[in-house]
Amino acid sequence: MAHPYSGLLTDLYELTMAAGYVQTGFQARATFELFVREMPPHRSYLVAAGLEQALDYLEQVHFAADEIAYLRRHPAFAHVGEAFFRYLEQFRFTGDVWAMPEGSIFFPSEPLLRVTAPIAEAQILETYLLATLNYQSLVATKAARIVTAACGRRVIDFGTRRAHGIEAGVLAARAAYIGGCDGTSNVAAGHRFGIPTYGTQAHSWVMAYDREEEAFRRFQEVFPEHAILLVDTYDVRAAVEKIIASGRKPRGIRLDSGDLVADSQWARQRLRQVGWEDVQIFASGNLDEYRIAALLERGAEIDGFGVGTALVTSEDAPSLGVVYKLVEVEAEEERRLAAKFSDAKTTYPGRKQVFRFRDARGEFYQDLIALEGEQPAGGEPLLVPVMRGGRRLHPSSPLVELRERCADARQHLPAALRQLEAAGTYPVRYSQQLEALQQAVRQRYRGGVEEKQQKAAPTRRG
Amino acid sequence: MAHPYSGLLTDLYELTMAAGYVQTGFQARATFELFVREMPPHRSYLVAAGLEQALDYLEQVHFAADEIAYLRRHPAFAHVGEAFFRYLEQFRFTGDVWAMPEGSIFFPSEPLLRVTAPIAEAQILETYLLATLNYQSLVATKAARIVTAACGRRVIDFGTRRAHGIEAGVLAARAAYIGGCDGTSNVAAGHRFGIPTYGTQAHSWVMAYDREEEAFRRFQEVFPEHAILLVDTYDVRAAVEKIIASGRKPRGIRLDSGDLVADSQWARQRLRQVGWEDVQIFASGNLDEYRIAALLERGAEIDGFGVGTALVTSEDAPSLGVVYKLVEVEAEEERRLAAKFSDAKTTYPGRKQVFRFRDARGEFYQDLIALEGEQPAGGEPLLVPVMRGGRRLHPSSPLVELRERCADARQHLPAALRQLEAAGTYPVRYSQQLEALQQAVRQRYRGGVEEKQQKAAPTRRG
């Protein structure tokens, strides 16, 4: 298995381009911005997550000797000179990074992360940064929707088994917690990130005993305070009656199939009849924000939800269209602004900042994407410096703070965007300076006037 | 970061159940089977993948001291005695595993993997096994569909950046190769698994130079044999003209946006006009099996496809409904068969084998799920022993063999199932013995006659 900070955790073209930059002596500092092109279906806002893992990688990325040996043998590098392999031996990330803190709410086109570094370095890191911020932001966003639908009831991530590999399960647990879930079933995530972990029992426990009541009794003996008994292995109502007949009050019961509305209402009534008002009713089984909203609307008596597949795969929108685009190159005492003009994928040039505007109650009403040096009155800048010269500027924030940031931001979203099916789109505008600059850069290419570099007057170093 | 073989890479309830089994002295050997409940939308067959990583984990899983210390502090284990923590200190997988080899084609309800082990061990490993086989099988299946649509043209996995984290990207590359892709852009996957890796250049390379022709020339100087030039940064046709005017023949060009049919036809014609018949035309940009089929039907002149997001997220079906079900418990010299009868999630009891039947040309026409001891005439058993007493029985097969197994199996699928939208469902039946056994076990619970254990006459030890 490769080491977790391997420089090979990238696309081949990042390395061939890096070899090209090294070999041709192109040593410019470049700025890349990472953003989402379009809002995925059904979403009206996005939640930033994954920065911590991205920074961990940036601080520790390197190429081991056997990894460089592998590249030396690779046919693509047959004509690449020794200088590139020596470059890889010394490779460390030395750049500067600005980013939105995790738990921030953001929108398409807004830079979520900005890297300024020698161009070969910044290029090699593209793939890792995209994969890391893409996935955790995807899950944090889905979690925020599910938590909204649950209207204050507990939501626990149960998704590891359906995640895209075990490591995705661990990362999903982290992102789901930032997005608002109350905990996870994933024990490694609990150990690694300090997330509260929860669990009940599986059908296999019940099936392993000859009698269901014996399975319940045994479990309650071992877990006198924490037993949440799974009641749908054979027959939900018969199982609840067995628990009541035993006289041993469990902490809760879990329904995993069947008619969750009717069964939960029936169970609540029976539990109340015997004075067990505080026995909690949990539900799981192919739940998502839509099914949770429908269950609650129909009067289901459920205190908490276990959500799995839909959460960790972001089932209805399993990817974000994240991109990492070159916006500026500084070479030979000059700065040149870069933008791409192929149809429908226009990129704005220059280093940017995102400003958020709030009304008197603190509710956001507009974001402005501007050039770094601009200072629009009343705008709160969202990108903050997180790394300089390849080193973190701040210690990591506790995860619970990131989760609170997200909860607070969700509270201050326009009400129409907090609904599962948003009415309207949040306004994100570009500054006039940025629009003018984009026109100027576009002219340069469209007009065929490519000879002359354009000085970047409106920007300053970050 | 947790070590990659951590026993904590599981759901909490697996560990609480294991604690329950240890504490109550329930030391039965149990058999669990892993299978997919239902065919995902648009699929007509599934491709098995991920076994190698599952076996790596089974051979090396253990609990580090700090992991056990974490569990000791966990509130769920407050009343669990010392015996369980001592059990974890010694924990190793000691069981037997049967599985379908990677690259096999399989169908819902068919056990893909069968574990027989002390019940607590088998339970703890559930989550890892599900996550691992779920994801790689998902991607191998999607890859097989995409490769089918490409009708012999090259298909390269470009998906890492949109995978669910970087490790998912590495595993996706492996699974995609098994499913029929020709290679990947993921360099770590190339290094770790020996998969061929490919890459071209990004828009950022072109944008980093002031003139597009300079960007092309520089790249070709470094990669005289391998340069595939990206031509859609500004204007596809102008870029192709610049390359032709330079007189330096590239290995290929890549189109990443725009009208891929019109632009590829135009480019082919221009390249032919200058005698560059062997310059290859690659296409990428939000491709999947449907878009590839449509491009080729409309006459696109494309030699190879780079497929990303849709492949690595299995976009139209981002999870498989994999489950891991207890089918048998052996305790105190007896064997008891287990099945679950809650509505719509019926499990068949007993250790099973899957038999495949082929016609004279080798085409499959039916699978039979039977009890392990049955030997239906003409049926080829699909599950083979892969691990005994916690050790692998065979060295790993080269990945290329797994890929060939899949290609061969796809060739022998009924023609109707090889289409992107399958006409019909492949017949998978249960043996009469298995149906009879299920009825008997069902009677035992449904009739309320739960007192008596039923001996497992029809099965024998595997």
pLDDT in tens, A199-213: 988 999 998 888 999
Consecutive H or E run containing A16: helix A12-23
- Tell me which chain B residues have a C-beta less than 8 angstroms from the C-beta of A256: 342
Q: Which residues pair with B330 in a beta bridge?
A: B29, B335
Contact A204 B123 (CB under 8 A): yes
- Tell me which chain A residues have a C-beta less than 8 angstroms from the C-beta of B194: none
Longest dimension (CA), chain A: 87
What b/e string do you get for B372-391 counting C-beta neighbours within 10 Å, with b at 16 or more?
bebeeeebebbbeebbeebe
- Tell me which chain A residues have a C-beta less than 8 angstroms from the C-beta of B223: 16, 20, 76, 79-80
Name the residue with higher pLDDT: B454 or B351: B351
Contact B200 A257 (CB under 8 A): no
Reply yes or no on whether the pLDDT at A331 is more than 80. no
How confident is the model over B203-240, as pLDDT tens digits?
999 988 889 999 999 999 999 988 999 999 999 999 99
The pLDDT of residue B462 is 31
Q: How confident is the model at residue B454 (pLDDT cuts 50, 70, 90)?
A: very low
Mean pLDDT of the residues in chain B: 93
Distance from CA of B410 to the nearest CA of A (A): 24
The pLDDT of residue B396 is 92
Whole-number Å distance between alpha carbons of A161 and A179:
20
Would you say A183 and A157 are in contact if contact means Cβ atoms under 8 Å apart?
yes
Q: How confident is the model at residue B362 (pLDDT cuts 50, 70, 90)?
A: very high
- Tell me which chain A residues have a C-beta less than 8 angstroms from the C-beta of B445: 234
Name the residue with higher pLDDT: A342 or B276: B276
- Tell me which chain A residues have a C-beta less than 8 angstroms from the C-beta of B315: 318-319
Would you say A313 and B134 are in contact if contact means Cβ atoms under 8 Å apart?
no
Contact B343 A258 (CB under 8 A): yes
How confident is the model over B6-26, as pLDDT tens digits?
999 999 999 999 999 999 998
Reply yes or no on whether the pLDDT at A461 is more than 90. no
Distances (CA, A) of A117 to A120, B223, B328: 8, 24, 59
Write out B250-282 in H/E/C secondary structure.
CCEEEECCCCHHHHHHHHHHHHHHCCCCCCEEE
**Nearest Cα residue to B371 out of B433, B439, B462, B456:** B433
The pLDDT of residue B225 is 84
Within this chain, domains A12-139+320-446 and A149-312 share the same CATH topology:
no
How confident is the model over A31-59, as pLDDT tens digits?
999 999 999 999 999 999 999 999 999 99
Distance from CA of A211 to the nearest CA of B (A): 6
- Tell me which chain B residues have a C-beta less than 8 angstroms from the C-beta of A136: 165
In this structure, whether the domain defined by A149-312 belongs to CATH 3.20.20.70 is answered with: yes
How confident is the model over A347-391, as pLDDT tens digits?
899 999 999 999 999 999 999 999 999 999 999 999 999 999 999
Count other Cβ atoms within 10 Å, centred on residue A369: 22
The pLDDT of residue A338 is 82
Would you say A303 and A3 are in contact if contact means Cβ atoms under 8 Å apart?
no
Contact B342 A235 (CB under 8 A): yes
A10, A136, A329 member nearest B187 (Cβ): A10
Structure-block tokens of residue A217: 């009794």
Contact B74 A20 (CB under 8 A): no
Would you say A94 and A119 are in contact if contact means Cβ atoms under 8 Å apart?
no
Contact A8 B191 (CB under 8 A): yes
Beta-carbon contacts of B255 under 8 Å, excluding residues fewer than 6 positions away, are: B231, B232, B236, B263, B264, B267, B281, B282, B283, B284, B285, B302
Contact A342 B256 (CB under 8 A): yes
How confident is the model over B162-209, as pLDDT tens digits?
999 999 999 999 999 999 999 999 999 999 999 999 998 899 999 888
CATH topology of domain B147-312: TIM Barrel (3.20.20)
CATH topology of domain B12-139+317-446: nicotinate phosphoribosyltransferase (3.20.140)
- Tell me which chain A residues have a C-beta less than 8 angstroms from the C-beta of B254: none
Residue of B nearest to A223 (CA): B79
Radius of gyration (Cα) for chain A, nearest Å? 26
Whole-number Å distance between alpha carbons of B237 and B243:
10
Q: How confident is the model at residue B336 (pLDDT cuts 50, 70, 90)?
A: confident
The pLDDT of residue B451 is 39
Contact B165 A165 (CB under 8 A): yes
Question: What mean pLDDT is predicted for residues B77-88?
Answer: 95
Reply yes or no on whether the pLDDT at B290 is more than 50. yes
Q: How confident is the model at residue A226 (pLDDT cuts 50, 70, 90)?
A: confident
Residue of B nearest to A213 (CA): B450
Question: What mean pLDDT is predicted for residues A14-27?
Answer: 93
How confident is the model over A255-313, as pLDDT tens digits?
999 999 999 999 999 999 999 999 999 999 999 999 999 999 999 999 999 999 999 99
Highest mean pLDDT among A173-187, A210-224, B333-347: A173-187
- Tell me which chain B residues have a C-beta less than 8 angstroms from the C-beta of A127: 160-161, 166, 169
Whole-number Å distance between alpha carbons of B306 and B314:
15
Residue of A nearest to B3 (CA): A188
The pLDDT of residue B338 is 81
| CB-side neighbour CA atoms (13 Å) of A235 | 10
How confident is the model over A420-434, as pLDDT tens digits?
987 789 999 999 999
Contact A17 B201 (CB under 8 A): yes
What are the domain boundaries of chain A? 12-139+320-446, 149-312
Question: What mean pLDDT is predicted for residues A128-136?
Answer: 98
B74, B132, B165 member nearest A132 (Cβ): B165
Q: How confident is the model at residue B452 (pLDDT cuts 50, 70, 90)?
A: very low
A130, A200, A224 member nearest B161 (Cβ): A130
Query: With pLDDT > 90 as the criterion, what percentage of chain A qualifies?
Result: 85
- Angle, CA A396 vertex, CA A392 and CA A397 arms, to 5°: 140
B6, B12, B28 member nearest A185 (Cβ): B12
Q: How confident is the model at residue A447 (pLDDT cuts 50, 70, 90)?
A: low
pTM of the model: 0.95
How confident is the model over B34-68, as pLDDT tens digits?
999 999 999 999 999 999 999 999 999 999 999 99
Question: What mean pLDDT is predicted for residues B312-329?
Answer: 96
Distance from CA of B357 to the nearest CA of A (A): 31
- What stretches of A125-235 show up as alpha helix (H) in DSSP? 126-149, 166-179, 187-193, 203-208, 212-222
- Tell me which chain A residues have a C-beta less than 8 angstroms from the C-beta of B200: 13
Question: What mean pLDDT is predicted for residues A125-140?
Answer: 98
Distance from CA of B259 to the nearest CA of A (A): 10
Whole-number Å distance between alpha carbons of B212 and B233:
9
Mean pLDDT of the residues in chain A: 93
CATH topology of domain A12-139+320-446: nicotinate phosphoribosyltransferase (3.20.140)
